[in-house]
Chain A
Amino acid sequence: MLSARQAPPTIVPLRFLLFGVACLLAASVWLLVEPGVLLGPYVRPHTVALAHLLVLGCATSICMGAMYPVVPVALDSPLHSVRLAIPHTILHLLGVIAVVPAFYAWEMRGVATGGGLILTGAVLLTYNLARTLARTPRFGVVAGSVATTLAWMLLAMALGIAMAISKLHPLLPGDPMRWLHAHAHLGVLGIFVNLILGVSLKLLPMFVLADWRERPRSWAMLAMLNGGLVLLASGIALGSRALAIVSGLLVAAGFGIYAMEIAAILRARRRAALDPGLITFLGALAAIPPTCALGFVAATIGQASLAPALRLAYAFAALFGIVIPAIVGMLYKILPFLVWHRVYGPRVGREPVPTFAQMVSPPLQTATSTLFLVALALLLAGILDAQMAPVAGGAALWLLGLLCFVGNVARAMRHWWRSPPPAARERTKP
């Protein structure tokens, strides 16, 4: 049985989460200051730098940080090593700080070097979690999701570095745009969507008090998503539109099975009301079908004049419609939990302690979700219509929504700073 002694100290995931939130804030301010990055061709230094600030700085950092406390809970298996998390944190943070300015200046040596630091950190994380996975009492679909996420993470990062090196010395054959599209799909689908889908099958029933048990179709979902991604990335890299579309349909079918699982969990839930964090998360899941549809249209339209805008809108919808809102929704659960665990856990039974829900503001949560939704609609309309005004307006609303979220992060963190626990009280493995 897992206990607090076997979980990593709260500071380990917290460093990643706060760095990720800071990167998201920086990216949102950047978008407001330079909305033109979302208009026109997307392989431009500023657009690519902004994308990596979001993907590596925000989404990857938060997913990596969240894996440290969530994976042991989801797998009922203690983390192999807390110590390994320290060099991983340093390598990842330094790597992101190097990669984003290097993309901005289109300096590929810096990109490859920073990418190497991030990849080395990811190797440490993979080793740590692979040893953790090896001790899980039962290798279920959640464990399968974590294992495949780690594999895609290494592959996507290695491909990214190879693409940067290819700008300096011939390395990858064929059209660089194909490799770019394969890299983006490996990252977004293989890392973020794969992890979000798998872990949510464990966490969502916990939060809504539903009795969910793994079925053969849960494995079918994982197999279709990952098998489809193997074919999709291959199809894109080989330039086979037919293979890409067919494998895209396989991935979409995997999403369909996942939707059936989520519907079953929600039907079986005992808690009638869903809190705003869960609503944000479920809203992100609801964005998967329209994003897939956008992807299919972008794939079938070929080289028509609208194609670059459609592809950019597809990538944007995947990030701002699915990945970031899903992360924000789950952070409303994870962040108060981490702070509570350190500050109030040792005080249970000695004095009144708040619940997780009391550590954040529900009106601010609702404001975040609402503003994100309106901003997304405006930004997508602006990208597709190549109009600056809706993009700038959407960027302003997005930033406003994010500030509401940051306000809630600050509310949760205020407990951390206001009530430091006695050092000896934190029950963590040294």
Chain B
Amino acid sequence: MIDTSDETAAEVIGRLRNLIDPELGINAVDLGLIYDVQIDTCARELRVDMTLTTPGCPLSDHMVQGATNLLTDIPGFDQIDVRLVWDPPWSPDRMTEDARRQINERPGA
């Protein structure tokens, strides 16, 4: 779970809720695709580590660029660095309750 007590981190997470997985129709935050948000106010650098539901997903460039687009006009940063990471691999256990409701998760699965 990402600490959103920081105002900027909360802003980042809020914006990334607009990044929707086109197959599932669920946003990246509720899917548990966002692994880390690092804010370096001195270096004016914002770094986001994110993953995708499947390694080798051909949408990776679009999703990374989409996240960058969503974050690009947050004031106070000169550099937005969205990185794709595969370790640890994503699993459905990372989804929030909200996402589970949206996919109508099977009980006991």
Partner-B contacts on A (CB < 8 A): 1-5, 7, 69, 72-77, 206-207, 209-211, 267-273, 337, 340-341, 344-346, 348-350, 353-358, 427
Contact = CB atoms under 8 A, between A and B. Distances in A.
Given A1-B84, A357-B25, A7 B58 contact: yes
Contacts of B24: 209, 355
B66 A72 contact: no
Contacts of A427: 61-62
B8 interface: no
Most B C-beta atoms less than 10 A away, residue of A272, A273, A344: A272
A270 B69 contact: no
B108 to A, nearest CB: 10
6 closest cross-chain pairs (CB), A and B: A349-B69, A348-B66, A349-B66, A76-B56, A345-B62, A4-B61
Contact of B20 (A72, A273, A341, A353): A353
Given A271-B106, A348-B65, A341 B57 contact: no
A74 B58 CA distance: 10
Contacts of B56: 1-2, 72-77
B53 A3 contact: no
Given A2-B58, A349-B19, A355 B25 contact: yes
B19 to A, nearest CB: 7
Contacts of A340: 22
Interface residues of B, number: 35
B105 A355 contact: no
21 contacts: A1-B56, A1-B60, A7-B58, A72-B56, A73-B57, A76-B56, A209-B103, A268-B109, A270-B100, A337-B22, A340-B22, A341-B62, A346-B62, A348-B19, A349-B19, A349-B66, A349-B67, A349-B69, A353-B22, A355-B25, A358-B25
A243 to B, nearest CB: 40
A271 B54 CA distance: 16
Contacts of B104: 271-273
Interface string B7-49: 0000000000011101111000000000000000000000000
A276 B19 CA distance: 25
Contacts of A357: 25
B76 interface: no
Given A272-B105, A340-B22, A348 B60 contact: no
Interface string B68-95: 1110000000000000101000011001
Contacts of A7: 58
Nearest to A336: B22
A69 B91 CA distance: 24
B2 interface: no
A201 to B, nearest CB: 13
A341 B70 contact: no
Kindly name the residue among A1, A75, A427 whose own CB sees the greatest number of chain B CB atoms within 10 A: A1
